[in-house]
Structure 1
Amino acid sequence: MVSQLKKGCRSVEEFRCLNRIEEGTYGVVYRAKDKKNDEIVALKRLKMEKEKEGFPITSLREINTLLKAQHPNIVTVREIVVGSNMDKIYIVMDYVEHDLKSLMEVMKSPFSIGETKTLLKQLLRAVNHLHDNWILHRDLKTSNLLFSHKGILKVGDFGLAREYGSPLRQYTPIVVTLWYRAPELLLGCKQYSTAIDMWSVGCIFAEFLTMKPLWPGKSEIDELNRIFKDLGTPNEKIWPGVSELPGMKKCSFTEYPYNTIRNRFGTYLSDLGSDLLNRFLAYSPSRRITAEEGLNHTYFSESPLKVNNQLENMSVLLNPHLVARLTLD
């Protein structure tokens, strides 16, 4: 792998780093300028130190997944570049100005329902494309949703993404950031599929409406208790097989009446909107709505309609000084 990279890749020396954007579990992201054409790009330096044989399997998986997953609403990979001593590998991606978490923290006013529909539809298109290509993202959250000045949402950070197949294999349940983690994962299920991403989409949908995380748990047990308080404590009737999950066998939970989440969203959502949110947050993975079904849900057909395919006037919602700072070269 390394010898192939050495033959076919440009050097990172052909880019000038401008500033560090973020550091995640699987790498550091920089804003950089391509010296060849002065274009601004994002450079993700992949972490190498954990692998005995040099090239980390998680990084190889991320590169492979991103190359397979190209879509207008998924971050675009331009090329792979290498450090001068072949000791560092970088993914070169289109630079996108904002992530939605940071953007929402500084917005002057919340998204309108039309804007929420536009964002949600873009997210569903990306997730539908991933699932059509047998890819689980496994870490959907607002900080991993990039947002351009042209109003285009792009799903990023594929460090936890995995290809899946039929029959389903067993995977680690310790994936997805806690606040967006599906109940089957919280309860220790190791055989899971696309439904875990759809639960995350539901949490993000709710966050678009209120500008706050839906269930900001402090631990797995706290997260489950927050979910159960809003959706009711699950049982075999509404979630066949739940009593056999490791977490249900180990812990006892308070009994809450079934599903009172509408009380939290009555001022934000119509009947159709509430129906869509509940379908994203269905307990049973087999009953949870798919991305394709979500795209076709009648919520998107009722007034107010989505504003357009993008949100081209989002800058009016932002602090102008922040916009200026983010666009400085």
Structure 2
Amino acid sequence: MGDGRGAVGGRPAWLQFYDLVGKIGEGTYGLVFLARTKHRKGCIAIKKFKQSKEGDGVSPTAIREIMLLREISHENVVKLVNVHINHADMSLYLAFDYAEHDLYEIIRHHREKLNHPINQYTVKSLLWQLLNGLNYLHSNWIIHRDLKPSNILVMGEGEEHGVVKIADFGLARIYQAPLKPLYENGVVVTIWYRAPELLLGAKHYTSAVDMWAVGCIFAELLTLKPLFQGVEVKGTPNPFQLDQLDKIFKVLGHPTPEKWPTLACLPYWQNDQQHIQAHKYDNPALHSYVHLQQKSAAYDLLSRMLEYDPQKRITAAAALEHEYFRMDPLPGRNALVPSQPGEKAVNYPARPVDTTTDFEGTTSVQPSQSVSSGNAVPGSVAAAAVVAPRQVPRSMPVVGMQRMPGGGMAPFNIASQAGMGGLNPGNIPMQRGVAAPAHPQQSRRKDPGMGLQNTGYPQQRRRF
């Protein structure tokens, strides 16, 4: 773990190991930078956390993210490479290998540049890998709570080409049975991917909120546009968003206590008779929005993900076993290869890089640029590209990385070094790199495949 001691010229000593390329994102908790490492080929993504709101040290959000990332190890989840602390201002830097793509940019490329859908093999492979990583997290009692296309990364060139990485664990939490209330954590999940139980003020929720988000992402991969594109009312302390609920009800129909028994217990269902209960929505037509036949396996899986009642919503483990993934084309580890022999692969552009911001957040005179590959030769940068403004709500992801070989990161005790003990929210024993055992009081549900890291690609080993 690097720190700010031994500073050279007022800058932390650890900075000498990196050549900064530029900023690749900005979010609630800080900035994300792209840099090249001087001791090995390839690029690295560095997420800088702002100082805590109280101004008295490292952000608890950063500590929580580090604690989770240290304990989990799965091919479809980002993995921490290094952590650096600048003691001068108590800023914290997390380092990950660079992932060239994310689902947001892949979808946008098809919508704005290619003007044609993502091929079925790529959609199926992206979705299967996302579910595979999510099943691992849920099996270890971790809810992500902020799944959206920009937080689902895809590796570019190299041995992990086309491999999905779930990123940005800033809102992730340990949950356990008996379930602890999580509502005090505030509003979670970007509004377009927020489950209806959250919108209606549920005080207890489960990993089912992640599965709703996956359903929204699945639909977006199929149609190249968000399924429930509500307008968010900013500045409200509660999660209730009337326009977002309106968008959901228009597609899925009006929820009823018959189909969703606990609906009547949700605070905003009870308290908003005029807008929610009085307004009836007829003729739900999910299949027409996503252009799927109602009897198709894809529609069946999607509708199970977008089930109103979270207790009936399909789990990640069950989704991996769904018929959709056992039909041709079968999913594969490299989601970006051509779907048919002789078909030309899509050349997805790397995410844009803003070279006008340095690690300290100040500006330089360099033009914005685009990095072509995570395996670029140090010192080489692709042709300049303007960073276009985002048109959808998007907080910045942690940037993904390849799996590190054993011993790739020295163990450290972030809790003791930062003076923050007991940071595992559920005090669940977890061994680094090993799936944690199920909580001894587990009684919520029994998922097939619980605890398994990878159930295996369905009946095939091709397209690798």
**If the length of structure 2 is used for normalisation, what is the TM-score?**
0.65
- Matched with 1:115 is 122
Q: Which has the higher strand share?
A: 1
Residues 1:25 and 2:28 aligned together = yes
- Matched with 2:334 is 310
Aligned ranges 1:281-300 → 2 under 5 Å: 281-300=306-325
Residue 73 of structure 2 aligns to which amino acid in structure 1?
Answer: Q
1:119 positional shift = 0.6
- Counterparts of 2:127 and 2:292 in 1: how far apart (Å)? 18
Aligned residues of 1:234 and 1:283 also touching (Cα < 8 A): yes
Deviations 1:245-267 (A, max 9, x none): 11112223221236421222344
Aligned residues of 2:130 and 2:165 also touching (Cα < 8 A): yes
SS at match of 1:30: strand
Residue 325 of structure 1 aligns to which amino acid in structure 2?
Answer: S
- Matched with 2:74 is 71
Deviations 1:227-248 (A, max 9, x none): 1111111111110111221111
Deviations 1:147-198 (A, max 9, x none): 1221111111111111111111112351000000000000011211100000
More displaced, 314-323 or 271-280?
314-323
**Which of residues 173, 186, 201 is equivalent to 1:162?**
173
- Matched with 1:106 is 109
Q: Which has the higher helix share?
A: 1
More displaced, 226-235 or 266-275?
266-275
Residue 221 of structure 1 aligns to which amino acid in structure 2?
Answer: L
Look at both structures and tell me which one has the larger radius of gyration over its CA atoms.
2
In structure 2, relative to structure 1, the CA distance for the partners of 1:146 and 1:273 (3 Å cut) is: same
**If the length of structure 1 is used for normalisation, what is the TM-score?**
0.91
**Which of residues 191, 196, 219 is equivalent to 1:183?**
196
Aligned residues of 1:12 and 1:90 also touching (Cα < 8 A): no
In structure 2, relative to structure 1, the CA distance for the partners of 1:322 and 1:176 (3 Å cut) is: closer
Segments of 5+ residues of structure 1 without an aligned counterpart are none
Aligned residues of 1:98 and 1:147 also touching (Cα < 8 A): yes
Deviations 1:34-61 (A, max 9, x none): 2222431000001214134312111100
- Counterparts of 1:79 and 1:257 in 2: how far apart (Å)? 53
**Which of residues 267, 290, 300 is equivalent to 1:246?**
267
- Counterparts of 1:171 and 1:76 in 2: how far apart (Å)? 25
- Percent identity over paired residues: 38
**Which of residues 94, 98, 106 is equivalent to 1:95?**
98
SS at match of 2:81: strand
State the structure with bigger RCO (CA 8 A, min sep 6), 1 or 2: 2
Aligned ranges 1:256-271 → 2 under 5 Å: 256-257=281-282, 259-267=284-292, 271=296
Aligned-residue Cα RMSD (Å) equals: 2.5
1:133 positional shift = 1.1
SS at match of 2:35: strand
SS at match of 2:188: coil
In structure 2, relative to structure 1, the CA distance for the partners of 1:10 and 1:187 (3 Å cut) is: farther
Aligned residues of 1:189 and 1:246 also touching (Cα < 8 A): yes
- Counterparts of 1:304 and 1:270 in 2: how far apart (Å)? 18
Residues 1:255 and 2:280 aligned together = yes
Residue 197 of structure 1 aligns to which amino acid in structure 2?
Answer: D
In structure 2, relative to structure 1, the CA distance for the partners of 1:16 and 1:65 (3 Å cut) is: same
In structure 2, relative to structure 1, the CA distance for the partners of 1:112 and 1:268 (3 Å cut) is: farther
1:83 positional shift = 2.3
Segments of 5+ residues of structure 2 without an aligned counterpart are 6-11, 233-240, 339-343, 353-368, 373-379, 382-464
